[in-house]
Structure 1
């Protein structure tokens, strides 16, 4: 099994960040890679579309409003992995109310590709997403 994790300090309070990213169907609000999201099954499943028109279907596994994190699994996607589980989490930063640390991590089993190849793929997606989130609060 392969894994990756990316974190970024964002110039907003943890609650402000969670208010933007905490909804399971909120990816289009901050992630340029996902311009479209449709909530299914009462919000427990999301159908995402990327700019190339590829469809990604994900199921919410756990959600914790108080601790500001959720985990999800990919059910269907154009990625060369199986058993994908990811967590998006907003942390407080000691002594600071005006910034938050956002961590996006995932673990997955590569499907006919090297671990390093899919780790690089998801590291790039997570990094680009968190950079976009940072920019959303810097504008």
Structure 2
């Protein structure tokens, strides 16, 4: 099983960041890679459409509003992986109205080398967190 991790420190309160990214249906609000999101199964499944027109179906596995974190798995998508599980979390930073955002994932490469798929998801997470920073205007 492979894994990758990206994080960013932001000069924004954890509550403000969580209000933007904490909804399971909120990816299009801050992640340009995702152009639309539609919830199903009572909000437990999201069907995403990417800027390339690809479809990704993800299942919400855990959600903790108080801890500002959720985890999800990919049910269907264009990625060469199986057993994908990811977590998005917002933590308060020591410096007052700042926060630390983490995006991590574990997965099994399927038909490609581990380094290739780790680089793919690391780029998605890193680019996504930079997009979050731009969306917040910081």
Question: Is 1:117 aligned to 2:116, yes or no?
Answer: yes
Query: Alpha-carbon deviations, 1:25-56, whole Å to 9, x = none?
Result: 00000000001000111110000000111000
TM-score scaled to structure 1, two decimals?
A: 0.97
Deviation at 1:20, TM superposition (A): 0.3
TM-score scaled to structure 2, two decimals?
A: 0.98
Q: Structure 2 regions of 5+ residues with no counterpart? A: none
Deviation at 1:10, TM superposition (A): 1.7
> How many residues of Structure 1 are paired with residues of Structure 2 in the alignment?
138
Q: Secondary structure at the match of 2:52?
A: coil
For 1:16 and 1:30, how far apart are their aligned partners in 2?
Answer: 13
Question: Is 1:27 aligned to 2:27, yes or no?
Answer: yes
Q: Structure 1 regions of 5+ residues with no counterpart? A: none
Root mean square deviation of aligned Cα: 0.8
Which 4+ runs in 1 deviate beyond 2 A? none
Q: Secondary structure at the match of 1:67?
A: coil
Query: Alpha-carbon deviations, 1:69-113, whole Å to 9, x = none?
Result: 00000000000000000000001111x232111000000000011
